[in-house]
Amino acid sequence: MSMLTVEIQPALSLLDDLLARICRALQLTPTQHALAESHYVSVGNWLGSGGSPLDRYDPMIYPQGSLAIGTTVRPLDRNEYDLDLVGQLEMGARDPVAVLNEVEARLRAHGVYGPMTERMNRCVRLNFAGNFHMDILPARRDPSLPGTCLLVPDRELRDWKPSNPKGYAAWFDARAAQGTSRKILRASIEPLPDHEPAHEKTALQLAVQLVKRWRDIYFASTPDLAPISIVLTTLAGQHYAGEPSPMEALSRVVSSILGALPPFGRLYVLNPMNPLEDLSEKWDDDPRRYPAFVSGLRMLDKDLAAIRGAHGIARAAEQLERLFGPVVPGVITEQARAIEKARRDERLGVTGTRAGALATSVGPSVIAVANNTFYGA
C-alpha cells in the first residue's frame, strides 16, 4: 500500500498533490521518455558501430541535465523539450572542432537521423519534431582528474573545459534524498497507476520543476533576463533542507536563497562539482539580469505565502495559475476526478476531528463516506 496511515497525516494535502500533478503535466510523458531513451541508445550504437570513424573511441551516450535528474519541463513557447546528452569518447587531446565535425558527419550519414541533424556551437542537435530535440555534447575523460570528470568543448570551441555531469547528478540525488520526501509523496491521492512519474518524485525534483516553470512564465516577455536552469537547479539543491512536501520545499528554497543574498554585489552560484566554475557568470553579461532575478524571487516568495494563506480552492487556483500557467484548471479537475473515483471505490473518508477534512486513509478518527447522490437543482 502506498497510502499513509492516519497517524502521520490524517488529511490529504490537496496543494501538494496539485503541485505534483502540475509537474506531471509539464514533464516528458512516459512514452516520450521511452522514445528518447531508445533514440539515444541507437544513436550511440550508430556512432560506435563498425564502419564508423568514431568506433575506435568506443562512444557512449547518456543523459545529463534535467533528463538525468528527472526535472524536465516543457518550454512555454513550443512543444519540444530540450534534452541534453553526453557523447563520451575515449580519446586523448584533440581539436574539439574536429571531434564535433566527426560526430556531425557520422550522424548525417544515418538514414533517419541524418535529416534531423543540426550543427550547434558546442554540440550536435537532433530534432525530433513535436517531441524534443537532443543535444549531444561530445566529451572525453579528463586525464588529470579521477572518476567521472570530463572535458567538453568550450563555448568558443578553441579548447576543452572541465565538466562532470554524472557527478552533478549524484550530488543532486543526494540533496534530494534528505528527509522522507519520497515516502510522503507516494501517499498522494489514489488512484494513480503505480508508476506515475510525478508521484514517485522527490520534493526537491518537484520544487526544481516548479521553479523552472515559474521562471518561464515570469520571464515570458523578457526571456533574455531569465536565470538559466542550471543556476535554479543548483540553488534549489543547495538550499533544500529535506522538507517532505513540495510546497514546503519550494517555499524553503525561495526564502533561503533570499536570505543568502549578499548585501553588495551579486550572488555567486558555483558548480558543486567544481567550485572554480561560476554557473551564474551570465549575470555579468547584462546588468539587468541579476536584479531581475532578485525581484522575481521576492515576488515568488510573496506569491507562495499568498497561496498558503488563500481562502478557497478558487482563490488558490488563480494564484497557482499566475505562477505556473494555464495548466492549472485542468489539473484541478483531474484531481477532483481522482477524489471522485476514490469515493466511488469507497476509499474516501473525512476526519471529524479536523473539520471534516477529506482523507484517503482509514483510521480511528476517519469516517468513511457512505454512498450518496447529490440531488436537487
Grid cell for residue 147:
572518476
DSSP-based three-state secondary structure for 299: helix
Does residue 15 belong to the site contacting other proteins (CB under 8 A)? yes
Does residue 90 belong to the site contacting other proteins (CB under 8 A)? no
Does residue 45 belong to the site contacting other proteins (CB under 8 A)? no
Does residue 349 belong to the site contacting other proteins (CB under 8 A)? yes
Nearer to other proteins, 14 or 109 (CB): 14
> Which residues are CB-neighbours of 314 under 8 A, at least 6 positions away?
none
Nearer to other proteins, 20 or 67 (CB): 20
Among 6, 258, 306, 350, binds other proteins (CB under 8 A): 350
Among 11, 28, 137, 176, binds other proteins (CB under 8 A): 11
Grid cell for residue 112:
533517419
Q: How far apart are CA 38 and CA 63, in angstroms?
A: 12
Nearer to other proteins, 86 or 307 (CB): 307
Which class for 162: exposed (0-12), middle (13-18), buried (19 or more C-beta within 10 A)? middle
Side chain identity at 306, as an amino acid letter?
A
How many residues touch other proteins under the rule CB under 8 A: the total is 42
Nearer to other proteins, 106 or 343 (CB): 343
- HSE of 3 in the Cβ direction (CA atoms, 13 Å)? 17
DSSP-based three-state secondary structure for 132: strand
Nearer to other proteins, 15 or 208 (CB): 15
Please give the biggest Cα pair distance in the chain. 78
Contact between 359 and 350 under an 8 Å Cβ cutoff? The reply is: yes
Of residues 187 through 216, those in contact with other proteins by CB under 8 A are none
N residues, the chain: 377
Q: Euclidean distance between the first and final Cα of the chain, in Å?
A: 39
Among 30, 115, 223, 329, binds other proteins (CB under 8 A): 329
Q: How far apart are CA 279 and CA 374, in angstroms?
A: 56
Nearer to other proteins, 262 or 312 (CB): 312
> Which residues are CB-neighbours of 309 under 8 A, at least 6 positions away?
none
* Minimal distance, residue 313 CB to other proteins, in Å: 4
Pick from 63, 75, 74: which is nearest to 135 by CA? 63
Q: Which window, 5-13, 52-60, 143-151, 159-167, contacts other proteins (CB under 8 A)?
A: 5-13
**x/- string (CB under 8 A) for other proteins, residues 294-313?**
----------------xxxx
Does residue 367 belong to the site contacting other proteins (CB under 8 A)? yes
Among 208, 289, 339, 360, binds other proteins (CB under 8 A): 339
Contact between 189 and 12 under an 8 Å Cβ cutoff? The reply is: yes
* Minimal distance, residue 377 CB to other proteins, in Å: 6
Among 75, 154, 333, 346, binds other proteins (CB under 8 A): 333
Which residues of the shown chain bind other proteins in the complex (CB under 8 A)?
Answer: 11-15, 18, 310-314, 316-317, 329, 332-333, 336-337, 339-340, 343, 348-350, 352-358, 367-377
